[in-house]
Amino acid sequence: MKQKEPPTQAVKRRKPLQQRSQEKVALILEAAIQLLDKGDIESLTTNAIAERAGVSIGTLYQYFDGKPAVLKELADREMGGLSDRILASYRRASSQSSRERLLAIFGAIGQTYGGRSKVHRQLLVHALSQGTTNRLLPMMAELSSEMTREHGAEQDSRRMLTPAQAFVLTHAVSGVFRGLLVQPNVDVPRQAIELELVELIEKYVASAPV
């Protein structure tokens, strides 16, 4: 029988500012990760998280409104890590060609989507299903800004995508990686998929207005 979640109350949650509070939050999140490693999001409950963390259910609700809030915090951290890896891979490849830089970015994304543990996969699928990929927007804005500066400095004839084209292209790429999440054992080499994405982007950009 599925365990019911305790009713939530409309109270202001504490922010973990002090070290002791931060340690409690860390225990709660680590407990959730351990449970997800053995189970799934559907069966996860706040009671189980509190028990695994060694805290009372009241303590958990001092910091989180419930299971969705715990998952949101975990997903935020996962998306933040993905953003950092993408930007770092792009900057490391700054002296390389556009194709090599794109492959570096896709490699960083693919490592997260296709090469992480069961827990990270569950969190990414959950974030995508909840429409929470807006957490990646700051990273996308920074990446776009860097690319624009570099292209302007090079003064080549590269074309600029319109906002509509950028939206379509971004979601086309994210859709492919979402497919890798849903079908992790797809019978296609990941490198082949990444090369096809590069071809897609290069052709799309080539058709954009100068």
Residue 88 vs residue 52, higher pLDDT: 52
Residue 123 vs residue 117, higher pLDDT: 123
Mean pLDDT of 172-182: 77
Domain boundaries, the chain: 19-65, 72-206
Residue 40 vs residue 165, higher pLDDT: 40
Structure tokens at 193: 């998929």
Mean pLDDT of 52-69: 96
Mean pLDDT of 105-112: 72
Tell me the pLDDT of the chain averaged across its residues: 77
Residue 71 vs residue 9, higher pLDDT: 71
Mean pLDDT of 194-203: 84
Classify residue 145 as exposed, middle or buried by CB count within 10 Å of its CB (0-12, 13-18, 19+): exposed
Question: Cα dist. 32→63, 75, 79 in Å?
Answer: 14, 12, 17
Q: Which of 47-51, 105-109, 190-194 has the highest mean pLDDT?
A: 47-51
Second-level CATH architecture of 72-206: Orthogonal Bundle (1.10)
Q: What is the pTM of this model?
A: 0.67
Distance CA 205, CA 150 (A): 16
Question: Which residue is it, tokens 């319109």?
Answer: 162
CATH topology of domain 19-65: Arc Repressor Mutant, subunit A (1.10.10)
Phi and psi at residue 56, in whole multiples of 5°?
-75, 160
Per-residue pLDDT of 129-174, as tens digits, reads: 776 556 666 666 666 555 555 544 444 445 566 677 777 777 777 7
pLDDT of residue 10: 47
* Per-state percent for the chain, helix, strand, coil, to nearest 5: 70, 0, 30
pLDDT of residue 95: 76
On the question of pLDDT at 94 being above 50, the answer is yes
72-206 matches 19-65 in CATH topology: no
